Amino acid sequence: MGIRLLAKIALAGFLLQVFPLRLGQSLSTNHDSIEASQSTNSRVLSLRFVKPTHSFATDGAIEIQAVLKNEGSQTIFVCRDLRVRADNSQPCAWEFSVRDASGRNLPGPGCASMVDRGWTSRDDFAKDLIESWIALSPGYSYSTRINVARAFCYRPSPGRYEIASVLTSSGLDSTSINNPLAAYPHEIEKLPYKGWKGTMASNKIWITIDPPSQKSR
């Protein structure tokens, strides 16, 4: 691995530790949310949704804050792009569960067909790595806003809904066509950090949906 690539990775890790707020990361101190669980025996990461302080319009975006925290003792690569896509065609994918105020489970993205997105290698490993993954140091959090409107199969009716999710990562070395790093197995072996691979469940939060005539408040 060349000096240029190492320098880019080192810079990305440095920025994450020194400037967490500028990159969208935060060191959260909110203890009201339930800690997330992970499929591995020793917890490396936790996933938490921050409860919104406002309601949402039924015909608009439903953006909530998702926080990934490194609970382990070593730096690890986590997915940078956590946007919720219609086809879930990225290294990390969401699976949501939604219940209304009566406790009824609502149909989610499973009602829509899933397709592969596919990636074309640009023959620039450093760029592909930094665009898709971020090095998260022990004790630090990566925070980003995600639009969970796709968690509903259809436009939600006004009311209150409980939302939770499972985040799945196929890892840096996944051979899936949805992995932009699939063409770089030798470069991945030389990286100083491992990529997170597995599934992780979030806490549950409640959101309120207003009629379309009202502005979210």
Whether 217 maps to a domain, the answer reads: no
- Rounded to whole angstroms, the Cα distance separating 106 from 88 reads 19
Whether 53 maps to a domain, the answer reads: no
Q: What is the mean pLDDT of residues 190-213?
A: 92
Q: What is the residue range of 149's domain?
A: 3-27+59-210
- Rounded to an integer, what is the distance from CA 26 to the centroid of its chain? 14
Longest dimension (CA), the chain: 58
**pLDDT higher than 80, residue 195:** yes
DSSP state of 52: P
- Give the model's pLDDT for residue 153: 77
pLDDT, tens only, 10-67: 444 444 443 333 333 333 333 333 233 344 434 689 999 999 999 999 888 999 999 9
Report the candidate in 76, 96, 103, 82 with the shortest Cα–Cα distance to residue 172.
76
- Give the model's pLDDT for residue 89: 53
Whether 47 maps to a domain, the answer reads: no
182 versus 27: which is more confidently predicted? 182
Task: Note whether 169 and 197 are within 8 A (CB).
Answer: yes
Number of domain units in the chain? 1
Whether 169 maps to a domain, the answer reads: yes
- Rounded to whole angstroms, the Cα distance separating 100 from 120 reads 40
Mean of all residue pLDDT scores within the chain: 76
Residues of the chain with pLDDT > 90, as a percent, come to 38
- Rounded to whole angstroms, the Cα distance separating 174 from 171 reads 6
Q: For residue 149, what pLDDT band results from cuts at 50, 70 and 90? A: confident
- Give the model's pLDDT for residue 86: 59
- Burial degree of 19 (CB within 10 A; 0-12, 13-18, 19+): exposed
- Give the model's pLDDT for residue 58: 87
Write out the two tokens for 99.
Answer: 């219940």
Task: Note whether 181 and 125 are within 8 A (CB).
Answer: yes
- Give the model's pLDDT for residue 8: 53
Q: For residue 122, what pLDDT band results from cuts at 50, 70 and 90? A: low
Whether 36 maps to a domain, the answer reads: no
Alpha-carbon torsion (10, 14, 15, 20), positive or negative: positive
Whether 46 maps to a domain, the answer reads: no
Secondary element (H or E) of residue 45: strand 45-50
Report the candidate in 39, 152, 35, 144 with the shortest Cα–Cα distance to residue 83.
144
Whether 166 maps to a domain, the answer reads: yes
Task: Note whether 60 and 216 are within 8 A (CB).
Answer: yes
181 versus 64: which is more confidently predicted? 64
Secondary element (H or E) of residue 62: none
Tell me the pairing of strands 205-210 and 159-169.
Answer: antiparallel
